[in-house]
Amino acid sequence: MKTAKFYKVSYEQFEESYLDYNEQASKEFIQTVYNELQLPKRATKGSAGYDFYTPIDVYLKPGETIKIPTGIRCEMNETWVLMIYPRSGLGFKFRLQLNNTVGVIDSDYFYSDNEGHIFIKMTNDSNEGKIVDVKKGQGIAQGIFMQYGIVEDDDATDVRNGGFGSTTR
């Protein structure tokens, strides 16, 4: 049974998010980056994780942080969640970490005001002086789908209308 499907966000949403990352970027440049976005995919049939590819060059010295607009959104079965982790090798070699430890992409995030645009915010937490250097188009993170349960007396009825932190406002 298939549980989800990846899409690009609209160009308008990507442009807005990209300008938040780099306000000096031209519309022509952003359009090129958008056209080259790669949907996440598994490297092998035994892979649990779907590799997310960075649309930009990532160069992080120890202690530096970056917020990457992936341009990706994910529609999934409502009883599933997409968990985002650093690529194993990057975490192991460089202590590259997600700022929220694990990204939790809920099924209803797809319908939020920002189209469910998945961002990856990472910090090079190297204590060995190592520099993270990941080129545009290479894998930067991985997403793993997991099914979850709810309690019998669950009565949640609210509907999401925002991004990060919007479910507890």
Kindly tell me if the per-residue pLDDT of 90 is higher than 90: no
Amino acid identity of residue 9, one-letter, is V
Residue 118 exposed, middle or buried by CB count within 10 Å (0-12, 13-18, 19+): buried
Distance separating alpha carbons of residues 59 and 27, to the nearest angstrom: 23
The predicted structure's pLDDT at residue 94: 83
Predicted structure pTM score:
0.89
**Contact predicate 74/7, CB 8 Å:** yes
* Planar angle of CA 10, 14, 16, nearest 5 degrees: 120
Q: Where are the domains of the chain?
A: 4-148
The predicted structure's pLDDT at residue 4: 96
- DSSP, residue by residue, 88-109: HHHHHHH-EEETTSSEEEEGGG
Q: How confident is the model at residue 1 (pLDDT cuts 50, 70, 90)?
A: low
Q: How many CB atoms lie within 10 A of CB 83?
A: 14
Q: How confident is the model at residue 111 (pLDDT cuts 50, 70, 90)?
A: very high
CATH number corresponding to 4-148: 2.70.40.10
Distance separating alpha carbons of residues 58 and 56, to the nearest angstrom: 6
The predicted structure's pLDDT at residue 8: 98
Question: Using one digit for the tens of pLDDT, what is the confidence trace for 31-78?
Answer: 999 999 999 999 999 999 999 999 999 999 999 999 999 999 999 999
